[in-house]
Structure 1
Amino acid sequence: MLTELKTFLHVARLGSFAAAASRVNLTQSAVSGQIRRLEDALGFPLFDRSGRAVSLNRNGKRVLAGAETVVAAFQKLSDMTDENVAPVVLRVGTISSAHGLLTRAMQTFRRDFPHVQLRIVPDISLRLLDKVDTGEIDVALMVRPPFGIPSALAWSPVVRQRYRLIKPADMPGDDWRTLVLTQPFVRYERTSFGGRAVDLFLRRCDLVANDHVEMDDIVAIRDMVEAGLGVAIIPVDDDAVMPPGVVTLPLGDDVFYRELGLMTGRQSTPAHLDALISTLVHR
């Protein structure tokens, strides 16, 4: 049942039999058959099926953690080598604003795969996309591209973040449009996918910001706003805690989002990479 459990993890992460089939180089019917055999062996269904999309039901969510543990344990056995064999290296690209997500996932990953060395490659999403496509890195934690996902690559969503305006806590005014027009603007760099979304948003709203500085580091942008250097529009997690010197303002009906996720090749992936992806997707 190990093969069926691995396929189950792919379907759970990717949300469809078709995407999982592409990842493991099988037909969709073969993947469906593996899931059916697993469900028959367990005695209950694992997914709610709605058209092409599937989602874990209550039983599936309960089985997920156990399946990850079993697959990880088998991988540990298969990776047992003598000390003279070179260690496994996993090349992980990440944007700067996703370091927190990656750090939390690494805590679980290091416990399950202590023999795997992680090499972290920081860059902007556009260059990370190219690096995954050319095989320079194995996976990238990045912003979903504004264009379609290349056919040779696979996308696994992790989190959806709402854009908000941030301003110094002592700055008067609570109308985000007025603040963009009247205050120095700390711009999220336009060469990045996330910054390009801000630029398109301002154009749609027919707003011309008073650009003061432009950079790709969201933490540094927040620090500049806290220092009183202007206002900014950045993606913010719903449960994010801002520094005491920074407040956020919603964009109302004009709100827009960015999606962070994992970009990989569509070829079959090793268990340690699947485990890292599952840790992030099901965090």
Structure 2
Amino acid sequence: MNLLFLESLVYVANLGSLAEAARAQGLTATAVSQRLKALEGLTGTALIARSGKTVALTEAGQRILPHARQVLDEQRRLLQALDQQSLCGRVELGVISTGMTGLLPSVLCKLGAKESPGKDLEVKLHPGTSAQLYNRMLQDELDAIVISAAPFALPKTLISDQLHQEPLCLIGAAGQITASDQQPKPEQLHDLIRQAPFIRYDRNAWGGRLVERYLRVHQIQVKEFCELDALEAIAVLVNSGLGLALVPDWPQPWIQGLKLDKVILPDTEYARQILLLRKRSSRKETAISYLAGLFKEAARNLLVSKASV
């Protein structure tokens, strides 16, 4: 079956006129009519009904319309997949939860702008933890991922772009940490962590391992209240006065309505590194590199906004 026949059927269904469908395709009305007749001959049934200058799909035409659109869409994707330099097509992008609310909105706004070279790029988002997204990318389920740095050396088959880093911070309910205007010293913060109930960032999470290493190196024994892998949930529990927590200082916005004390720890070696990873041999390298540039720009703007506060 000639796909141009299906294309004309879709145009007629959308525009309701042979003349308009012909104009949109750069054809004559006679040529469009001949295509439709040929399609009706192949299917053995009437697909359009004429009423004056307008045309409408018959019941049979309506039944095959969604399938025609699907076939044409798959054809478009096939051609895009052959174009290595194309900024069209679909990218399967995995992003950790704090990246979804922090860097991602700015990236998607720039991507969708009318003047953007990637405005026709379709991005399918997949949430998950760093470990989950990393494994899915290795299994070719995802084209690129925004995650925290892995606690092991990455294989050379991957390309890594560092976006930004998030220092560890101690958070508590308002007045629980900074009772005065003076910044608490590290020793004072350590004493607070030892004394208060501790809401632990999951040790199985890659970022949570940084917290565990900090506690171990500084020989801090905690009174563990609970252990969670969702940073937003930890912040909510801390806001309720249930305990203190050590978490990465992830980008705004945090959950609205929280009234937290937050003290950034000076030890930058425990900062959570946020990376964009993709396979070196990806057939979507052009599109992914473009996305990486948008993420880097969003990260730079984040640093500028923090510096101006």
TM-score over 0.5 for the alignment? yes
Pair 1:281-2:296 in alignment? yes
Among 127, 135, 149, the residue aligned to 2:132: 127
SS, match of residue 282 in structure 1: helix
Deviates more, 1:168-177 or 1:260-269: 168-177
Match of 1:272 in 2: 287
Q: Distance in 2 between matches of 1:226 and 1:273?
A: 38
AA at the equivalent of 2:128: D
TM superposition shift of 1:114:
3.6
Match of 2:249 in 1: 236
Among 201, 211, 216, the residue aligned to 2:224: 211
SS, match of residue 148 in structure 1: coil
Deviations along 1:161-196, one digit per CA (max 9) or x if unpaired, are 110101111325642111211111111111111001
TM superposition shift of 1:136:
0.9
Q: Distance in 1 between matches of 2:287 and 2:211?
A: 35
How many residues end up aligned between the 2 structures?
203
Match of 1:201 in 2: 214
TM superposition shift of 1:251:
2.7
Gaps of 5+ in 1: 1-81
TM superposition shift of 1:150:
1.2
Larger radius of gyration: 2
Pair 1:188-2:178 in alignment? no
Among 206, 214, 227, the residue aligned to 2:240: 227
Q: Distance in 2 between matches of 1:143 and 1:238?
A: 13
TM superposition shift of 1:98:
1.1
**CA 1:83–1:140 in 2, change beyond 3 Å: closer, same or farther?**
closer
Among 140, 164, 177, the residue aligned to 1:159: 164
**CA 1:140–1:196 in 2, change beyond 3 Å: closer, same or farther?**
same
**CA 1:165–1:147 in 2, change beyond 3 Å: closer, same or farther?**
same
Q: Distance in 1 between matches of 2:190 and 2:253?
A: 23
Moved over 6 A (4+): 238-242
SS, match of residue 85 in structure 1: helix
SS, match of residue 167 in structure 2: strand
Q: Which has the higher contact order (CA 8 A, sep 6+)?
A: 1
Check the 8 A contact 1:154/1:263 in 2, yes or no: yes
Instruction: Give the 5 Å matches for 1:65-80.
Output: none
SS, match of residue 120 in structure 1: strand
Q: Distance in 2 between matches of 1:178 and 1:254?
A: 20
AA at the equivalent of 2:287: H
Deviations along 1:65-97, one digit per CA (max 9) or x if unpaired, are xxxxxxxxxxxxxxxxx7563552211111111
Deviations along 1:108-130, one digit per CA (max 9) or x if unpaired, are 11233343322211111112112
Q: Distance in 2 between matches of 1:135 and 1:238?
A: 29
Deviations along 1:13-32, one digit per CA (max 9) or x if unpaired, are xxxxxxxxxxxxxxxxxxxx
Give percent identity, aligned residues only.
23
Match of 1:99 in 2: 100
TM superposition shift of 1:99:
1.0
Check the 8 A contact 1:133/1:152 in 2, yes or no: no
Deviations along 1:205-243, one digit per CA (max 9) or x if unpaired, are 111211112112111211111111111001115887785
Q: Distance in 2 between matches of 1:136 and 1:157?
A: 22
